[in-house]
Amino acid sequence: MSVIDYIGWGAGALVLATFYLKTMIPLRSVAIASNVAFIAYGTLAGLTPILVLHALLLPINILRLQQMRLLITRVKRASRGDLSLEMLVPYMKKRTLPAGSQLFTKGEYSEEVFLILKGRVRIVGRGVIIKTGQMVGEMGIFAPGQMRTDSAVCETEVELASVSEDQLWELFYQNPEFGAYLLRIIVHRSASTEHQGTPSIIKV
């Protein structure tokens, strides 16, 4: 068997290996290696269709690998809490409530999560103030029975954006950064028995 044959069999083995890999970065890395091997095989064996095919696939696999690495970096950054919640606003429904309005009531079914865009909201039972840029209500979505554990009242006129339970889950799965950020906050709040200072997300 010639060197060219060995290259061809090796390239085929790399393609076969991609079907057994379960994570994307190793899969893309092996796919890139197979592209390079097939390009060499196609060139040496004079097989133009194989050469052209893998010459086209190579930059695509390199691009996807870079995108995956960038996504992992962004998710890690989000898991440390380094995420602007303003990125969620385009997916949320905006509305304005006058001062004194009840945002939600203790014991009611939790169907929405809120991001305060302007104004202040007070958590009645705890005396905690939610300010601009802070999120409130997310724990109710994950709580047993999805029941609110406290009430919230608008201390001033409040502009807010809300996202429904269904939209929240959609964002959670479609946006890994948001999912990582939300999980970090929920775990942190669940482990806390008391609020210290003014948190970025309030457990209600």
Integer CA distances (angstroms), 46 to 2, 20, 82, in order: 14, 30, 52
Q: What is the mean pLDDT of the chain?
A: 80
For 28-46, the pLDDT digits (tens) are 899 999 999 999 999 999 9
What's the confidence (pLDDT) of residue 128?
A: 81
CATH tag for 85-202 (out of 3.90.1330.10, 1.10.20.140, 1.10.10.10, 2.60.120.10): 2.60.120.10
Q: Where are the domains of the chain?
A: 3-79, 85-202
**107, amino acid identity:** G
CA distance 59 to 169: 33
Q: Label residue 194 by pLDDT band (50, 70, 90).
A: very low
Residue by residue, DSSP assigns 36-96 as HHHHHHHHHHT-HHHHHHHHHHHHHHHHHHHHHHHHHHHHHHHHTT---GGGGGGGSEEEE
What's the confidence (pLDDT) of residue 199?
A: 44
Question: Whole-prediction pTM value?
Answer: 0.52
For 42-100, the pLDDT digits (tens) are 999 999 999 999 999 999 999 988 877 776 666 566 555 555 565 566 667 888 999 99
Say whether 30 sits in a helix, a strand or coil: helix
Q: Label residue 140 by pLDDT band (50, 70, 90).
A: confident
Strand 201-202 and strand 135-136: pairing?
A: parallel
Q: Are the CB atoms for 124 and 155 separated by under 8 Å? A: no
For 167-177, the pLDDT digits (tens) are 777 777 766 66
